Amino acid sequence: MVKNFEIKYCMRKQFLFIFLALIVANTSKAQTRSTRIGYIDMEYILENVSDYKEAKSQLDLKATKWKQEIETKKLEINKLKENLKTEKALLTKELIEERETEIKFLENEMLDYQQKQFGVDGNLMHQKAALAKPIQDQVFTAVQDIAEAKNYDFIFDKSSDLTMLFSAKRFDISDQVIRILNRTEKREQLSKKQLKEQEAKENLENEIDENPAMAERQKALDARKAAREKLVADRKLEQEAKRKEYEEKRNAIAAEKAARKNGTVSESAKSTEAIKTETTGIPVSAPTTTEPATTSQPAVNKAEERQKLYEQRKKELEERKKKILEEREAAKKAKEAETQKTNTTNN
């Protein structure tokens, strides 16, 4: 074990030496520009590719089934061992040896099955490699495209055997690779017009990747856009509630007019009359055509509830407006501070 550790340590030292030599050689050849280095995290990329996640879930189900089969075999073997231990005093030497041989055979069979499924060269490792290979090939192609388009000199895989003691996030191009993979999948389903729009969107994303300040501005713009959309949606809800309330009032007035015209009493007036008659024992005369019908108590309560709901929504909208204004003011101050800092640095 110590020998293997020494071999690995020597190999890493050699790799580090070669890597430094390449950087020095590249720096001497290209004095006019700085060396560009990036890295990817293959595990992170695989976890964010939908095809790989679906296939991996199926493979996990297989692995769970294999584990259950191994556990079943273990339970059977343990049961045979317990039975032998219990009955050993009653069995002959030949029968004991025969049962021990059977148990040993079953144990070896179980270990062979476990090695076959979960060993270093087992089915699980083979199927994982077969599952990841097509995605890895796409990743390598995407990395080459990014390296050529953006003049990278070195791109490493963080999840490989290479030990990266520190890696700044700004050199991580994993998200760019994922976007390229998703773009390739989407392009196959787009029309010419949609494809043109997609290309314009991709160019904007590439510019954002190259300019961190632009990425921050885009993030602020997206936040403001989401706030505006929410405000518009709230206004629509408020208008819908007002329209519904107006229609209910108009329908109630129309029903009351129709009742007076036909010489009948509306349902609300009838219910009010019945309540008063039951309470006082004195019948209430029907309203004349010149007097409006009395509004029922439920209708009054409903109107009060609508008024409360309207006031509550109005208050929420005012709070949201205030919050948006505060966010805009904070963003404005941050931008002014950044501009002042840039001017100070330039001076």
Instruction: Identify the weakest region by mean pLDDT among 9-23, 61-75, 113-127, 241-255.
Output: 9-23
In the predicted model, is pLDDT for residue 72 greater than 80? yes
User: What mean pLDDT is predicted for residues 174-181?
Assistant: 83
Residues 302-306: contacts with CB within 8 Å, 24+ apart? 306/241, 306/245
Q: Of 205, 211, 63, 218, give the one whose Cα is nearest residue 126.
A: 63
Place of tokens 């040896």: 97
CA neighbours within 13 Å on the CB side: how many for 319? 6
pLDDT at 1: 44
- 292 pLDDT band, cuts 50/70/90, is very low
* Highest mean pLDDT (candidates 11-20, 197-206, 241-250): 241-250
- 226 pLDDT band, cuts 50/70/90, is confident
- 110 pLDDT band, cuts 50/70/90, is very high
Q: What's the whole-model pTM score?
A: 0.43
In the predicted model, is pLDDT for residue 146 greater than 60? yes
Distance CA 201, CA 186 (A): 13
User: What mean pLDDT is predicted for residues 94-108?
Assistant: 92
Distance CA 97, CA 298 (A): 90
